[in-house]
Chains A and B, each alone.
Chain A
């Protein structure tokens, strides 16, 4: 992949334990989740974090990306175990619903905690 943010972490939904890995320091930036960190994926996860579930088109319009970009990023998040995709129908119209998984919510909460620490730490 050409996107450096497409790297997934070995343990989905888990977070780096500071000090256990020599490459991880004590700076809060090491608490950032690399899957969520990419701007578009961060926006997708932030949108879904405020919702029980959201229609694909709602997320697309909210995040302001194309269908193909959203599909690709959602696939990455789904592979990481952060997003659940459900397909169904409303009347005769096919609909795709997106929702954060419990792992996704935990990862986003930890990511935001790291962001708050960075914002406070470096300010």
Chain B
């Protein structure tokens, strides 16, 4: 170690950068995860809000269950999660939950079947997943 030179140190740092890039590439699955999550969240809101009851609720909840189960299996099969994944994922889920409640509760009470409420609401509920996927892809 006493003969460790600047070029050795620079090479080690470059190697660390290279490995970090490999990990980032291996963690890109989370882009797909978030985009699917966002799109599915929008479909659920549209189903619950615009389809006649109780079919809309049943279709929306059933579809959501299938999507969440599929995403859970998909994520469990991945080989690496990037640094900060846990915190980021929790934030995305919390943001989705808050927006979902903010769209669903008033919509169910005051705007059942009103396209002008549910379509923008679906877009809003999709945002955490879509923005998260966009930011993840840019990393």
Contact = CB atoms under 8 A, between A and B. Distances in A.
B54 interface: no
**Max chain B CB contacts within 10 Å: which of A46, A51, A57?**
A51
Nearest to B5: A122
A74 to B, nearest CB: 15
**Dominant SS among interface residues on chain B:** helix
Binding site of A, secondary structure by majority: helix, strand, loop or mixed?
helix
Nearest to A44: B19
A62 B6 contact: no
Contact of B23 (A32, A62, A112, A123): A62
Interface string A50-81: 11111101100011000000000000000000
Contacts of B13: 112, 115-116, 119
B4 A118 contact: yes
Interface residues of A, number: 30
Contacts of B79: 54-55, 57-58
Nearest to B17: A46
A29 interface: yes
B76 A53 contact: no
Interface string B1-35: 11011101110110110011011101100000000
7 contacts: A46-B16, A46-B20, A52-B81, A52-B84, A62-B23, A115-B9, A123-B10
Interface of B: 1-2, 4-6, 8-10, 12-13, 15-16, 19-20, 22-24, 26-27, 76-77, 79-86
The 10 closest A-B pairs by CB, nearest first: A122-B6, A50-B23, A58-B79, A118-B9, A46-B16, A50-B20, A119-B9, A55-B79, A115-B9, A54-B80
Given A52-B85, A53-B81, A116-B13, 19 more contacts: A34-B1, A46-B15, A47-B19, A49-B83, A50-B24, A50-B82, A50-B83, A51-B27, A51-B81, A52-B81, A52-B84, A54-B79, A57-B79, A58-B26, A58-B79, A62-B19, A62-B23, A118-B4, A123-B10
